Chains A and B, each alone.
Chain A
Amino acid sequence: MADIGTTGGKLAVRLVTPDRVLLDATADAVELPSSAGYLEALYGHAPLLAELGAGEVRLHGGAAGEQTFFVAWGFAEVLPERVTILAEEALKPEEIDRSQAEQDLQGAQRAWQEAGDDGQAYDDANAATREAEEKLASAK
């Protein structure tokens, strides 16, 4: 397996959004909200590509202590010594606008009611609901 000595067994973690590189740090472990459920990557993880759903990215044992970020849809590449996260939207917990998220949630629920027989609209409404709920859950 990978040589632990070179980087001291720390994962290099990057969080990239369409606007900027939000985070460039190291950590012992990273939790990722994959669209099929949470997964945790440690140093030496097998190469993996995963689609992320809405949820929290959590860094454990980093220089800045525990860090969490809310992400809504993205991609993660896990390599033995590196984790790169592409997130369409990424926010620190304190950046989350609670009232806006609540409005989004109501809007999504309304959209769900009005979806009628349109399958796509249902899926969209469900995704929006999930995103708003996760956002509220990770807001501080």
Chain B
Amino acid sequence: MANVLDLRRRIRSVKNTRQITKAMKMVSAAKLRRAQERAMEARPYARMLVNVLESLVRRTDLYNDETGDVMHPLLVEREEKNVLVLVIAGDKGFAGGFNSNIGKAAQRFIEERRRQGQTVDLEPIGRKAIGLYKRRYPAANYERTEEHYDNDLATHYETIRHRAEPIEVAAEHSDLLLKATFDEVAKLGRTIVERYERSEIDSVYIVFNEFKSVLSQRVVVETLLPIKKLGEHETTSLQEMTDDEKEAAAKAARESGVSVDEAETTAMDEEAKKFGTADVDYIFDQDPQQLFRNLMPRYVSTQIFHALLESVAAEHAARMTATDAATKNAGELIDSLSLTMNRVRQAAITKEIIEIVSGAAAL
């Protein structure tokens, strides 16, 4: 049996661990509150952008009268041969099943697409997602060619993609989550839109952890392109929270003072809904068609931005729940170790007394 000294040492070490997990929980709770706020503050813009688009849709013909062609390339639905999948996970671990759940859900989705004979491009966002695919699938191979015309007066650049495997990692985004600025997301959005317009990819999906509130989260796959209906997120749930998970999350949230309710709609949200929808005949400063063309790529970027912000909030919520459980486990371990230690100590004392008593009796 372990001696008292060893036990005491173990208890001290577990206590330290508990202190660390407790601190991590506090930090995650604070970060979660901040992330929730950010997601809230981003809503008016997204809502207004959709309103302007809808208002434009009502005013312009989306289809050419004569040929019946769709007027914007992002609305074109093609047969899905090449699929782009954005996978958003976290930058760090210690968040319970957060990263592995997303990984599993994404894997199911990818395999299903493969069975249908489609080629899949992956763009992992967040270090954990990148790590997941780095070894499993090869990186895409690009070749940049240069051609000179007219005695070097004009140069023509072209980037050619050499596809070797049906599933490849097209690009990695390791620092997108760190700041999660719209600027960076817009850059990503633009490249995706360009590839879609060039028919390099026929559809774009985004796998991420949707976050409505601490109690309402799920891993979903959302269709980003082609755009079927403006302002609506066409999502398929891949994994819901179990009741146990909900209970653990609720407990962690309660203890850290994080609200478990869905964020309320603010006055600004109400205002945002009205943007561009007043029942008047607007003067358009520019040609509606042109406006529409400029707006569409931005719409895609706001969709990605929205997914990113929700995923960040979900990651902090997951870490908060995980560290809360770890803190609780540490507490239980300390209790059971203290009990054992007291028992061992008592046994030693009893043994000594017996020795003394029987020694005295033998005299």
Interface of A toward B, CB cutoff 8 Å: 14, 16-21, 34-36, 39, 46-51, 73, 75, 77, 79, 84, 86, 88-89, 114, 116-118
Contacts and interface: CB of A to CB of B under 8 A. Distances in A.
Contacts of A86: 45, 48-49, 52, 275
Those 5 A-B pairs whose CB atoms lie nearest each other, nearest first: A50-B285, A18-B182, A116-B155, A47-B280, A20-B41
- With most chain A CB atoms within 10 A of its CB, the pick from B45, B182, B290 is B45
B48 A84 contact: yes
A50 B41 contact: no
B95 to A, nearest CB: 24
Contacts of A79: 278, 280
A42 B281 CA distance: 18
B135 interface: no
B31 interface: no
Contacts of B42: 18-20
Given A35-B286, A49-B52, A77-B275, A88 B298 contact: yes
Given A21-B41, A36-B285, A51 B294 contact: yes
A50 B285 CA distance: 5
B283 interface: yes
Nearest to A39: B285
A48 B286 contact: no
Interface in B270-286: 271-272, 275-276, 278, 280-286
Given A84-B48, A88-B298, A117 B149 contact: yes
Contacts of A88: 182, 186, 298
A34 B285 contact: yes
Interface of B: 38, 41-42, 44-46, 48-49, 52, 55, 149, 154-157, 181-183, 186, 268, 271-272, 275-276, 278, 280-286, 290-291, 294-295, 298, 302, 305
B94 to A, nearest CB: 27
B42 to A, nearest CB: 6
- With most chain B CB atoms within 10 A of its CB, the pick from A14, A17, A18, A21 is A18
Contacts of B156: 116-118
A89 to B, nearest CB: 7
A25 B271 CA distance: 14
A49 B282 contact: yes
A51 B182 contact: no
A75 B278 contact: no
A50 B282 CA distance: 10
A34 B283 CA distance: 13
A49 B276 CA distance: 8
Contacts of A39: 285
Given A48-B285, A117-B155, 15 more contacts: A17-B45, A18-B45, A18-B182, A20-B42, A39-B285, A47-B280, A49-B55, A51-B286, A51-B290, A73-B298, A84-B271, A86-B45, A117-B154, A117-B156, A118-B157
Contacts of A50: 284-286
B186 A116 contact: no
Given A39-B285, A50-B286, A84-B48, A19 B38 contact: yes
Nearest to B46: A18
Contacts of B55: 49
28 contacts: A18-B45, A18-B302, A18-B305, A19-B42, A20-B42, A21-B41, A34-B286, A35-B285, A35-B286, A46-B283, A47-B278, A47-B281, A49-B285, A49-B291, A50-B284, A50-B285, A50-B286, A73-B298, A75-B49, A75-B295, A77-B275, A77-B276, A84-B48, A86-B52, A86-B275, A116-B155, A117-B149, A118-B157
A44 to B, nearest CB: 13
A97 to B, nearest CB: 12
Contact of A16 (B48, B294, B295, B305): B48
B183 to A, nearest CB: 7
A47 B283 contact: yes
Contacts of A34: 285-286
Given A16-B48, A21-B44, A88-B182, A51 B154 contact: no
Contacts of B154: 116-117
Contacts of B298: 73, 88
B49 A47 contact: no
A89 B183 contact: yes
A116 B305 contact: no
A16 B278 contact: no
B176 to A, nearest CB: 14
Contact of A114 (B155, B282, B286): B155
